[in-house]
Homo-oligomer: A and B are copies of this chain.
Amino acid sequence: MSQIKKTPRSRVKRKPYRGDYDFDTVAAVLDAGFICHVGYNIDGKPYVTPTSYWREGDQVYWHGSSASRMLKAQEQGIDVCFTVTHVDGLVMARSAFNHSINYRSVMLFGAAQKVEDEDYKLKVLETFTEKLFPGRWAELRPVTRRELKATTVLHMPIEEGSAKIRNGDPGDDEADYAWPVWAGVVPLAEQAGQPRPCPRLIEGTKLPKYLKPLWRLK
């Protein structure tokens, strides 16, 4: 199994047994979501912007308006920290101190690069749409040249970083297991609800099949 770079920056210091540098583990955490938080500096001050992303191979991608201040800063190749977090449960222990959260997270470090080639940009945007909604790209009104120009796509290699994962039951102090309070895990997961059609939807338009698996979204 290939490993990603463990560096002074990416090494998990607190509770190092929760750290994981295996590429496949990192990729699995990334593939379970589509919202990341990207950290970067403008004039030496930190910003954290939530945005959508996708992974393909050893790259993560994110995109937005070419007018975006965030993307304009990042496309210069400045340092970024790319973080993805899934909250899986509230871990309720017998003491406040041992309460915790079950989660899967990934932190990646590096510098983003802009996708310059317009054909390649179109291809990776198709990949993003198809990852969320397989089959939808061909059904959509095609992308125009103007729209493509108005969209910036950045990517960054999955090279330096780590996954950090906590799962399982509360870990209480040995003496506390006799304390008479409920303890356990409340699982949490992102769930999709019943799709709400656009009020201007053409009458008789069927709900696409690719929305069905979203009900199993985790």
Contacts and interface: CB of A to CB of B under 8 A. Distances in A.
Contact of A211 (B13, B67, B186, B207): B186
Interface in A187-218: 187-202, 205-208, 211, 214, 217
Contacts of A69: 13-14
Interface in A19-43: 35, 37-41
Interface string A166-188: 00011010001111111111111
Contact of A141 (B95, B125, B129, B199): B95
A45 B83 contact: no
A77 interface: no
Interface string A56-71: 0000000011011100
B214 A198 contact: no
A83 B49 contact: yes
Interface string A138-151: 01111110010011
Interface of A: 9, 13-14, 35, 37-41, 44-50, 52, 64-65, 67-69, 79-83, 85, 87, 90, 92, 94-97, 99, 101, 103, 105, 107, 109, 125-126, 129, 132-133, 136-137, 139-144, 147, 150-151, 169-170, 172, 176-202, 205-208, 211, 214, 217
